[in-house]
Amino acid sequence: MADLEDNVAIPEFSNLVQMDPYLKPFEKDFKRRYEQLQKQLSQLEETEGGYDKFTSSYKSFGVHRQPDNSLHFKEWAPAAEALFLTGDFNAWEKFTHPYTKKEFGKWELVLPPKPDNSPAVDHKSKLKVVVHTQDGERLYRISPWAKYVSREEKSVIYDWVHWDPPNPYSHIHPRPKKPKSLRIYEAHVGIASPEGKVATYTNFTTNVLPHIRDSGYNCIQMMAIMEHAYYASFGYQVTSYFAASSRYGTPEELKQMIDVAHSMGIVVLLDVVHSHASKNTEDGLNQFDGSDSCFFHSPPRGEHKLWDSRLFNYSSWEVLRFLLSNLRWWMDEYGFDGFRFDGVTSMLYHHHGIGAGFSGDYSEYFGLQVDEDSLVYLMLANHILIPCIPTASLLQRMCRGCLLSAEDWRREDLALITDWLWPFPTSGFRS
Annotated catalytic residues are: 342, 407
Of 324, 326, 339, 301, nearest to 417 by C-alpha is: 339
Return the closest-CA partner of residue 243 out of 131, 105, 148.
Answer: 148
**Other CB atoms within 10 A of residue 344 CB:** 24
Cα 300 vs. chain centroid, distance in angstroms?
Answer: 23
Contact 83, 130 (CB under 8 A): yes
Rounded distance, CA 406 to CA 394, Å? 16
d(CA 312, CA 211): 38
**CB 296 within 8 Å of CB 313:** yes
DSSP state of 89: G
Asked if 341 contacts 332 with a C-beta cutoff of 8 angstroms, the reply is no
Cα 365 from Cα 385, distance rounded (Å): 25
Do the Cβ atoms of 326 and 58 come closer than 8 Å? yes
Q: Nearest CA to 82 among 145, 1, 141?
A: 141
Q: What pairs with residue 127 in β-bridges?
A: 87, 160
User: Between the CA of residue 90 and those of 166, 239, 281, what are the distances in Å?
Assistant: 21, 26, 24
Residue 266 CA to residue 176 CA, distance in Å, equals 7
Q: Environment class of residue 308 by beta-carbon count within 10 Å: exposed (0-12), middle (13-18) or buried (19+)?
A: exposed
